[in-house]
Chain A
Amino acid sequence: MAAYIVRRLVWVIFLLFVVTLITFVVFTVLPAVDPALLRAGRQPTPQLIESIREALGLDEPAPIQFINYLGQILPFVGGDGVNFGYSYQSNTEVLPQILDRMPTTLFLTGGAVVLWLAIGIPIGMVSAVRTGSLLDRVLMGGALVAISAPVYFLGLVALYLFDDSIGRFPLLPGSGAYQQATSIFGKAEALIMPWCVLAAAFAAIYARFLRGNLIDTMQEDYIRTARAKGLSERRVTFRHGVRAAITPIVTLLGLDIGLLLGGAILTETVFNIQGIGRYAYDAIVRFDLPVVQGTVLFGAFFIVIMSLIVDILYAFVDPRVRY
């Protein structure tokens, strides 16, 4: 197990390096605005631009720029310490900005995960047990709608209906409320709508996934054995069927959490929540390379780490898996 984890961690480092390289290449090779121009303000003199280029290291050849960047994300390599560089836009260090936004993204993701599991799993089970019934069709029809509605559409509809300042039924705090809220309860209240919007598609995906899995599982030979033992149908379904059918959800859940911890870009943008996703969105719009690189690296980090955690967890939920 230990050797396996070490091997996987080496892979993690390699993968993150590749991600960093690709992001860098994409932004350096793409014809785009000169970052120095962005920094220089209105009607800059050529001398000013030149001095900014020098200050940002943009006058160096691309490979040197990349090595300089690696120095900023790796300890003991560069001069200034680890700060992921400076935003072109605001000249602030990127790493503290990301860490500042981390709790917000964590709160948003955590709440949504609890919500979609609490909704998706029971729906999936009920639909599987009552396959083909009217209830199953209604639930799966609803799930299809939820999967098909993108967050930016669902989010705007939710704001239009329920936002407490502009909504038709002003019930819930809407866009920007999270930033203004001061207490944890206020923040939680402000997240009710984003949580629901973010969780909707995931709940639908999980419900459909579990339904399909459980229907297949109930055809297994060991389910027939459980019935032949004289167990009640309830026990057969939940102790034997669901136990096996729900296990692959661990994989799905780990990867989805990893994805969202890197920033729920659409949800954070629609509801104006200053998380990592919103930070990344603003950076992309303004061509702020250091911030884009920092947020991409963070997102990639969460995904590869979560997939490692999932693989390790799997050995505990499925006794057949050994490393």
Chain B
Amino acid sequence: MPPLLEVEDLRVHFETEDGLVKAVDGISYTVDRGETLGIVGESGSGKSVSSLSVMGLTRARNAHISGSVRFEGRDLLGASEEDLRQVRGNDIAMIFQDPLSSLHPFYKVGKQIVEAIQAHRDVSKAQAYDRAVEMLGLVGIPEPRRRADSYPHEFSGGMRQRAMIAMALANDPKLLIADEPTTALDVTVQAQILDLIETLQSEFDTAVVVITHDLGVVAEMADEIAVMYAGRIVEHGKSDTVFNAPEHPYTWGLLSSIPRMDAPRGDALVPISGRPPSLINLPGGCSFHPRCPYVRDAHRRVDPMLETVEGAPDHRVACLLDSGTRRRLWSELQQGVAPDVARKDVIEEPLS
């Protein structure tokens, strides 16, 4: 049986007046049934565009899309608009960052869910409405029948995201793409929403792709993590591996910039220096090199491939440092050796 979702060498380039924007530049991943993949990266790393492309929602006239996206073995990139329409909201559903702007302001919540159901199921309005009320109850909205008759602006932020989840899962999709599902919400509500997604995921056996810039979000729910930088995946592995034995300096940066419960008290959070690169003029060689504390001359010329880490078949990383050096640097980092010191040390070392 083919994997549920298989993305291979996906590229999404946009032609703009300023030049070609390589939003997604050759990424591959698979998602199996019931599994959760976390895609992590800064804004502009291409994580949202790649998942919108899976749904066929980036078909702008100026977009060039290549590679392949297969859902249960069916090609989605070449699919007709009508075939894609039948997949959207039925096999693959999506929830977005800002639930207020993602719900139509002029239609009642119940009606919007009914519309999603009737787009794919040949049921009467009353049946669809009952299903909508059932879903609203399932996502934890009190008095669902009464709330179905409310407008989105009458809901709180967390309730709106619950309503979005109810709408997304109403047709029992096999894959849910959650694009920054908690970013626009209060911190107290964020954990509730993540718990809800996890609970429903196990109940419906739905696979989830969760896209976020927040490693805390994926730590809680992802089985696998893909770290994206400048339109590419730079590190990909099991969640535990990426958290405990990361191999890419960018991942190290991400991990050092979030607070950890298991870190010793007094450890400062270290932001990643510099800014994400322009996707029009990517730096030559490794695109992370201008921000990498361990950069060497050769890294400015050679473009690293995503390669399997020695001794860890499920763990892949795109870094030109050799594996031994990376492991040493990571353990030094954990002992508190600052990257600046490490950097001098590495540069003096001959390139292996």
Contact = CB atoms under 8 A, between A and B. Distances in A.
B205 interface: no
A230 B88 CA distance: 5
B101 A229 contact: no
Contacts of A240: 104
B105 A229 contact: no
B93 A228 contact: yes
A250 interface: no
A319 B153 contact: yes
Interface string A140-166: 000000000000000000000000000
Contact of A229 (B106, B151, B153, B167): B167
Nearest to A317: B106
Interface centre among A221, A233, A243 (most CB of B within 10 A): A221
Contacts of A59: none
A168 interface: no
Contacts of B85: 230-232
Nearest to B104: A222
Interface stretch (B15-23, B63-71, B114-122): B114-122
Interface residues of B, number: 27
A28 interface: no
Interface string A222-245: 101111111111000001100110
Nearest to A225: B102
B90 to A, nearest CB: 6
Contact of A230 (B89, B106, B164): B89
Contacts of B303: none
A222 B120 contact: no
B104 A230 contact: no
A7 interface: no
A34 interface: no
Interface centre among A228, A233, A243 (most CB of B within 10 A): A228
B119 A224 contact: no
Contacts of A320: 105, 151, 153
A80 interface: no
Contacts of A227: 57, 88
Given A319-B153, A320-B151, A320-B153, A228 B104 contact: no
B333 to A, nearest CB: 39
Given A230-B90, A231-B119, A319-B151, A225 B106 contact: no
B94 interface: yes
A221 B89 contact: no
A187 to B, nearest CB: 40
Contacts of A231: 85, 89, 115, 119
B156 interface: no
Interface string A202-231: 000000000000000000111011111111
Given A228-B88, A230-B120, A222 B115 contact: no
A247 B105 CA distance: 12
Given A224-B57, A320-B153, A230 B116 contact: yes
B250 interface: no
B94 A244 contact: no
Interface in A172-218: none
Contacts of B105: 222, 244, 318-320
Nearest to B119: A230
A73 B89 CA distance: 64
Interface string B72-104: 000000000100011111100110101001111
Given A228-B57, A229-B88, A229-B119, A221 B102 contact: yes
B115 A244 contact: no
Interface string A298-323: 00000000000000000000111000
A254 B116 CA distance: 35
A222 B89 contact: no
Contacts of B320: none
Interface centre among B81, B105, B120, B164 (most CB of A within 10 A): B105
B151 A230 contact: no
A232 B85 CA distance: 7
Interface centre among B96, B102, B104 (most CB of A within 10 A): B104
B62 to A, nearest CB: 11
A240 B119 CA distance: 14
B106 A318 contact: yes
Contact of A225 (B87, B104, B153): B104
A319 B103 CA distance: 13
B323 to A, nearest CB: 41
Given A229-B116, A230-B87, A220 B81 contact: no
Contacts of A228: 55, 57, 88-89, 93-94
B101 A222 contact: yes
A220 B94 contact: no
Interface of B: 55, 57, 81, 85-90, 93-94, 96, 98, 101-106, 115-116, 119-120, 151, 153, 164, 167
19 contacts: A221-B98, A221-B101, A222-B103, A224-B102, A225-B103, A225-B104, A225-B164, A228-B55, A228-B88, A228-B89, A229-B115, A229-B116, A229-B167, A230-B119, A230-B120, A231-B89, A232-B85, A233-B81, A320-B153
Sorted nearest first, the 9 A-B pairs with minimum C-beta distance are A230-B89, A230-B88, A221-B101, A229-B89, A229-B116, A228-B94, A222-B104, A221-B102, A319-B151
